[in-house]
């Protein structure tokens, strides 16, 4: 009931799909896989281009997984009276999980940008960028969110952390009380709470964002401006990823946690039930693929509108896949719950927060791999095309793009592994009062091996 093994693989795959999206933005290489072994089915190539174009949709899966796991202990308390941890322990656990890698990333990049002139001598902007990231308020301003020097993908951490902060209020409402003789009252409160959360998200999207220019939207924009925020209803890139837009996704996580807890307690594994859940999981994969294709067909602004209006349905489909995969046949679960997926899941947090910044720096600042000779020195090789370039230079540019794709992949995974095992895990050991690799843990490991 406490460990959902398939989430290891689902989380890892979601992060990798987001990585593919950001890498595609820089390489312009459309991901395809030749499948001659499937030629008897008429399938000679599988095209993952839609996932590259709109891979950002799987950030929603990451948020959903976070909400689902947050609500699982609450669901067990509501349904079966399992005690909840103290809020002090809850906040400590969240801080230990999130802060070491996050703070290391922010401070390391900040020092780098200062040292290399990234802020152009504008100390005020540098301080604002740093302080807003340290307080998780960087989503409020254009210059600290979309134009930040401190790694734009960190916006997701702002969303997550602010939900972590207010989460105990939800738990306080939902938890089982002494007067609750059965689970009926807590479940009813959960359903009402989920409906209200989804309502907040829907109201935010349809009454504020998509109703820009109305008296209501203008009033909200004016209030936000008075507080120094750069959020405006007509600025889709700013409003699409604000916390209210994800309340529906968190609501689905709440309901999913209830459903999972009931099934995990009452469902007895049978070969036929595993088969039915497997078929259902495959069906959800098909629906996910079709939704990704629908979004990928749209131009930029329309795709953003699609993402906002379909965020709740997409979360429901994602949740359906998680639940059916969790109770599917053993062989199907093994696809998502195996040692490789477990390892990728362990490093996935640092893989996510480092990959995009590294791939941009490798291409534009460090020029690794080295750019081939060209008369247009400021144009990256993957953009070498047209009359300004010879056929040879265009060919060289394509070859460079392939090398670059390999380099950024190696750098991203290398950074993720180092940050996980040299920063995240040792810091967790120290903060939890355990020995880390920096204060005796390695000596104990080698001592045990020598014995």
| Position with higher pLDDT, 449 vs 113 | 113
> What is the structure's pLDDT at 426?
95
Q: In the chain, what percentage of residues exceed pLDDT 70?
A: 97
Mean predicted lDDT score pLDDT of the chain? 93
In a domain, 403, yes or no: no
Buried-exposed string 244-268: b where 16+ CB fall within 10 A, e elsewhere: bbbbbbbbbbbbbbbebbeebeeee
* Residues 104/423, Cβ–Cβ less than 8 Å: yes
Query: Residue 396 domain-assigned?
Result: no
Residue 373 in any domain: the answer is: no
pLDDT of residue 300: 83
Helix (H) or strand (E) holding 34: strand 32-34
Q: What pLDDT digit, counting tens, does each position of 203-213 carry?
A: 999 999 999 99
Residue 430 lies in a domain: no
Domain membership of residue 404 (yes or no) is no
Give the list of residues 6+ apart from residue 70 with CB closer than 8 angstroms, or none.
163, 164, 167, 253
Q: Is the pLDDT of residue 448 over 70?
A: no
**Torsional class of 229: left (φ above 0), alpha (ψ -120 to 50), beta (otherwise):** beta
End-to-end CA distance of the chain: 37
> How many structural domains comprise the chain?
1
Q: List, in sequence order, the alpha helices (H) in 151-310.
A: 155-174, 184-203, 215-226, 236-239, 247-266, 271-296, 300-309
- CA gap 394, 49 in Å, rounded: 22
Residue 47 phi/psi, 5-degree rounding, is -105, 115
Comparing CA positions, the residue from 202, 187, 168, 171 lying closest to residue 255 is 187
What is the spatial distance between Cα 232 and Cα 441, in angstroms, rounded to a whole number?
50
More confident residue, 90 or 383: 90
Q: 14 lies in which domain range?
A: 6-21+35-355
Looking at residues 359-364, what average pLDDT do you find?
95
What pLDDT, on the 0 to 100 scale, is given for residue 423?
96
Angstrom CA distances, 428 to 96, 97, 101, stand at: 6, 7, 10
Does residue 261 fall inside a structural domain?
A: yes
Residue 427: inside a domain: no
- The answer on pLDDT for 387 being more than 90 is no
* Residues in a beta bridge with 45: 34
pLDDT score at 451: 59
Rounded Cα–Cα distance for residues 138 and 53 (Å): 26
Average pLDDT over residues 127-149: 96
Q: Say what percent of the chain tops pLDDT 90.
A: 81
Comparing 372 with 253, the larger pLDDT belongs to 253
In a domain, 297, yes or no: yes
User: How far is it, in rounded angstroms, from Cα 31 to Cα 48?
Assistant: 5
């Amino acid at each position: 009931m406490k460990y959902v093994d398939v989430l290891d693989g689902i989380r890892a795959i979601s992060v990798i799909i987001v990585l593919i999206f950001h890498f595609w933005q820089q390489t312009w290489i459309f991901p395809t896989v030749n499948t001659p072994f499937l030629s008897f089915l008429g399938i000679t190539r599988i095209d993952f281009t839609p996932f590259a174009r709109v891979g950002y949709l799987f950030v929603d899966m990451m948020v959903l997984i976070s909400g689902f796991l947050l609500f699982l202990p609450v669901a067990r308390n509501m349904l079966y009276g399992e005690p909840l941890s103290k809020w002090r322990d809850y906040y400590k656990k969240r801080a230990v999980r999130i802060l070491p890698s996050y703070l290391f990333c922010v401070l390391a990049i900040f020092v780098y940008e200062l040292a290399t002139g990234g802020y152009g001598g504008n100390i005020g902007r540098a301080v604002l960028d740093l302080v807003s990231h340290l307080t998780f308020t960087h989503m409020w301003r254009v210059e600290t969110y979309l134009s930040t020097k401190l790694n734009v993908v960190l916006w997701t951490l702002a969303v997550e952390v602010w939900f972590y902060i207010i989460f105990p209020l939800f738990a306080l409402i939902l938890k089982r009380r002494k007067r609750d003789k059965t689970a009926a009252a807590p479940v009813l409160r959960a359903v009402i709470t989920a409906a209200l959360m989804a309502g907040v998200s829907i109201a935010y999207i349809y009454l504020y964002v998509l109703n820009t220019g109305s008296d209501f939207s203008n009033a909200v924009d004016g209030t936000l401006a008075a507080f120094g925020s750069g959020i405006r209803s007509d600025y889709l890139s700013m409003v699409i990823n604000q916390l209210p837009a994800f309340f529906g996704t968190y609501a689905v996580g709440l309901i999913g946690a209830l459903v999972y807890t009931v099934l995990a307690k009452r469902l007895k594994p049978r070969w036929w039930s595993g088969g039915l859940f497997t078929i259902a999981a495959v069906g959800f994969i098909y629906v996910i693929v079709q939704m990704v294709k629908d979004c990928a067909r749209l131009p930029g602004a329309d795709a953003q509108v699609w993402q906002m209006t379909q965020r709740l349905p997409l979360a429901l489909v994602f949740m359906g896949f998680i639940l059916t995969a969790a109770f599917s046949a053993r062989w199907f679960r093994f696809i998502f719950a195996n040692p490789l997926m477990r390892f990728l899941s362990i490093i996935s947090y640092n893989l996510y927060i480092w990959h995009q910044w590294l791939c941009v720096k490798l291409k534009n600042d460090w020029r690794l791999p080295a750019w081939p000779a060209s008369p247009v020195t400021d144009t990256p090789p993957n953009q070498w095309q047209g009359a300004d370039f010879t056929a040879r230079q265009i060919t060289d540019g394509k070859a460079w793009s392939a090398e670059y794709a390999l380099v950024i992949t190696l750098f991203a995974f290398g950074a993720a592994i180092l940050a996980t095992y040299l920063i995240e895990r040792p810091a967790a050991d120290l903060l939890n009062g355990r020995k880390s690799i920096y204060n005796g843990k390695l000596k104990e490991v080698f001592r045990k091996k020598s014995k």
